Amino acid sequence: MLKIGNIFIEKYPVLLAPMEDVTDVSFRAICKEFGADIVFTEFISSEALIRNVDKTLQKMRIYDFERPAAIQIYGHDIENMAQATRIVSQAKPDFIDINYGCPVKKIALRGAGSGLLRDLDKMEQMTRAIVQATDLPVTAKTRLGWDSESIVIEEAVLRLQNTGIQAITIHARTRSQMYSGKADWSWIAKIISNPDVKIQIIGNGDITTPQMAKKAFEQYKVDAIMIGRGAIGRPWIFKQVKHYLTTGQLLPEPNVQERVQIAKKHFELSLKYKGMPRGIFEMRRHFAIYFKNVPNFKTFKLQLLTEQDPDKIIKILDQIASQYGDFTPQPAYAYDNMEQGEN
């Protein structure tokens, strides 16, 4: 069960994680169609918001069809984060999420994202300032700690729950892990079993199958789960997870023909909301994963990653459907060593 402001999801809440260059409106729409309960924007720089950077302002736009939806912000300066919160509030998301987890060097080493895990006093002060700057509900997303020698998540949760935020998402990796190795959910279990922890906990990290989603709810007792990289090129994972959690039955992976239909719809939405040529360029990472593990696909992949004519891209997709038909590739997971992704 998850309750954030007026949002109430009684059973098995499954959320789409905020991911830079991934969770734009077209991808959020596809994930929502497949059953994501709450979606998040890409993470947004507080400094860019204050400077009125157009591309950043566009990231804030939320449409009624994707609600409930949250906007996630990050930054290293407390006053700038409070000011950015006031700007974001005008966009009327369902709630605001604070990024305390991004491990990317240019963010973390400036004291933003997971960099705040090295200064819990500042993290606490920043969170309180953000809560005070808005009437909207506020949540936070973070990691276990900076590295394996400085895991501070338990203290961070105990501090943050007293600032007025309504939930904390824990990505069960350290900053130094980036996206490598396995997420250590034992820390999430430890936090949830702590009687002093009263705040809602959302679990994140390595949820790539319905079975792992079930384990998160039943063994680790989280209030909700968040899926990030496991949804890239596989937005149907939300439907698979929901179906398995409610029926105990595993849905099959979609075949190539079904993937083509999903990719075409995603592509059309990307063009609608991003225009040309950006709508094409930003679909390429998705195309690569939609058809990962399809044999002898190199020629088609090259065409999808280079073609700039929308009509020709649709024809390429139709050719893929015609050639591979009902072939079902093995599940593929995106960007095992990606530099930038979910925080």
Residue 111 corresponds to which amino acid? G
Query: Considering 102, 153, 280, 320, which one is annotated as catalytic?
Result: 102
Q: Is 31 a catalytic residue?
A: no
Residue 86's pLDDT band, with cuts at 50, 70 and 90, is very high
Question: 7-247 domain in CATH 3.20.20.70?
Answer: yes
> Given the structure tokens 């059953």, which residue do they identify?
35
How is residue 228 annotated by DSSP?
A: S
- Position 340 scores a pLDDT of 44
Q: Give dist(CA 179, CA 333) in Å, integer.
A: 12
Determine what percent of the chain falls in helix, strand and coil, rounding each to the nearest 5: 45, 15, 40
Look at residue 162 and tell me whether its pLDDT is greater than 50: yes
Could you tell me which residues come within 8 angstroms of residue 23 by beta carbon, excluding any fewer than 6 positions away?
16, 17, 39, 40, 41, 42
The confidence score (pLDDT) of residue 333 equals: 67
For a pLDDT cut of 70, what percent of the chain falls above it?
97
CA dihedral sign, ordered 131, 136, 137, 141 = negative
Q: Tens digit of pLDDT for each residue in 213-230?
A: 999 999 999 999 999 999
d(CA 225, CA 307): 37
Read off the pLDDT of each residue in 323-330 and give the average, rounded to a whole number.
Answer: 94
Distance CA 58, CA 44 (A): 10
Using the predicted structure, report yes or no on whether residue 343 has a pLDDT greater than 90: no
Q: What is the pLDDT of residues 19-74, one digit of tens each?
A: 999 999 999 999 999 999 999 999 999 999 999 999 899 999 999 999 999 999 99
User: Is 323 a residue whose pLDDT tops 50?
Assistant: yes
Give burial (CB, 10 Å; 0-12/13-18/19+) of 136: buried
Distance CA 318, CA 314 (A): 6
Supply the pTM of this predicted model.
0.95
